[in-house]
Chain A
């Protein structure tokens, strides 16, 4: 049975020439590294506290605009909190959610995909069915409903997104396992009396890992965007935690007069996601070159 269009593994499309691709890869790694550094040590370097309110200094503009307040490089928000400190703290939340979600969804999706791809038959039918079902569930709505019903919180957001974003892992793991399954070294291991878990973990997984790494970057970017959307709608990370999505939501009421309150976290979000996607594209290009060899 041919797979439905919606399930067919996405074709890797490399960008431009390899030189440009390499430049993009380097830029992507640089972006992710900077955000990671900000998340790890940023709040130690920024003198202000992200949670301290100063109602006398509300909505002060960043350094390149008139009326800026010394000591607040990126200005302050509607409660007078330092925007740079909040932005840097927000990087921590975005990356944490991205990484944790990828781990959760990766475990689910890779397990399903490898089992379906390796065993075929009934098992695969079930996996295909699970993927189809998952794809037909509207992610944002269900995530909103879960958080809305169970109360917002970082852990719940991770669990919800992890349970929802495993589809691409499963699709790619399934397709690549099917290819690898028929290779000689798998048959060789089988004939040598290797156990089933041994074959799956020692022979199959390492050989599909590079494809899964590409998926991981895509899913991480998606998870970060979805968390921001949930927080923006008020059903993600609870205040006063400075998630970038929440910062945009809180700044929304002031955006017509102080547009930087939504510009700064929005640009940060876009740049981080762009960086992760560039890393993913770079990995995919490396992979393509490997396949040609």
Chain B
């Protein structure tokens, strides 16, 4: 168990370093950074000044090691646009994205677990088909479009939720719903197939032969086994949700890390772009590690001998 975690951790660090390199190269894709920063109106002299000021006149590998070296200790440099350190910016925005992610995941689990269980217990009935249809439609609806529809219905027509912004907890409800929707189809299908498999298993027949109540058979014996992959995958899903929050944060003008990423891309603010890519990747790596640990903890076959 500990060896497994250690190995996964080593892999994660290696992956993070690779992503770091890629993030660095990504911002050099456009060719001359100094020209992009200076903007279209700048003169040749302005560009030269910027190039010197940001150290872009040094060879690429020097820039790279300078950046990684500082990034290792949490120093991502200064934002070109926000007049603040990148680390500060991210620190301010991260709680919003994490809140959104957790709200989204909780909502997703609250909806997909009961739906998946229900569909499995009513396999091949109209309820099951309805749930399947719901997941297929859910997979097909673009999240940003769903966001707009919710704005029209909940924000304008019913007027019960604010349309955009970051001020209060209500501002997290609509984005949370939309984010949840991106995970619900996968989690529902996983719950459903897990429950169907569990309910058809020999140990459920044993539980019935023991005369246990139906509720105990479903919620203790079957669900416990079906939940093992669901819980693990949910952690991975949260990683994807954080990465995907950029679209939703932008639509709702929710000032989280995703929105920061979008703003800095629009403003050619490269240090911020690099850092946001890296931070989101590190969160994903951490969450997959968590998924593996959860999986091992929940499944006694992995935990013991």
Query: In the complex, A touching B, CB below 8 Å?
Result: yes
List, in ascending order, chain A residues with CB within 8 A of B143's CB.
229
Complex Cα spacing A274 to B138, Å: 9
Cross-chain contact B141 with A270 (CB below 8 angstroms): yes
Flag whether A132 is at the interface (Cβ < 8 A).
Answer: yes
Flag whether B291 is at the interface (Cβ < 8 A).
Answer: yes
Interface positions, chain A 36-71, Cβ under 8 Å from B, are none
Tell me the A residues contacting B by CB distance below 8 Å. Answer: 1-2, 4-6, 11, 13, 15-17, 20, 129, 132-133, 135-142, 144-146, 148-150, 221, 225, 228-229, 232-233, 235, 245, 248, 252, 255-256, 259, 262, 266, 269-274, 277-278, 281
Flag whether B222 is at the interface (Cβ < 8 A).
Answer: no
Cross-chain contact A145 with B277 (CB below 8 angstroms): yes
Cross-chain contact A13 with B192 (CB below 8 angstroms): yes
List, in ascending order, chain A residues with CB within 8 A of B189's CB.
13
Complex Cα spacing A150 to B258, Å: 20
Shortest distance from the beta carbon of A160 to any chain B beta carbon, whole Å: 10
| 7 A-B residue pairings within 8 Å (CB atoms) | A2-B4, A132-B11, A135-B288, A138-B242, A229-B143, A248-B145, A270-B142
**Which stretch, B60-68, B148-156, B168-176, B208-216, touches the partner chain A?**
B148-156
Complex Cα spacing A121 to B233, Å: 27
Cross-chain contact A129 with B15 (CB below 8 angstroms): yes
Cross-chain contact B232 with A150 (CB below 8 angstroms): no
Cross-chain contact B36 with A141 (CB below 8 angstroms): no
Cross-chain contact B247 with A1 (CB below 8 angstroms): no
Interface positions, chain B 162-195, Cβ under 8 Å from A, are 189-190, 192-193
> Quick one: given A13-B192, A245-B142, A269-B145, are A149 and B30 in contact (CB under 8 Å)?
yes
- Which of A20, A141, A225, A273 makes the CB contact (< 8 A) with B258? A141
Complex Cα spacing A266 to B288, Å: 33
Q: 7 tightest CB-CB pairs across the interface, nearest first?
A: A138-B243, A274-B140, A273-B140, A266-B145, A149-B30, A148-B265, A13-B193
B contacts with A, residue count (CB < 8 A): 66
Cβ contacts B1-40/A at 8 Å (1 or 0 each): 0001001100100111011001000110110000010000
Interface of B (DSSP majority class): helix
> Quick one: given A245-B142, A270-B142, are A138 and B246 in contact (CB under 8 Å)?
yes
Given contacts A1-B7, A233-B144, 8 further A-B contacts (CB under 8 A): A133-B19, A138-B277, A138-B281, A140-B246, A144-B265, A145-B273, A255-B148, A274-B137
Cross-chain contact A141 with B243 (CB below 8 angstroms): yes
- Which of A149, A255, A277, A278 makes the CB contact (< 8 A) with B29? A149
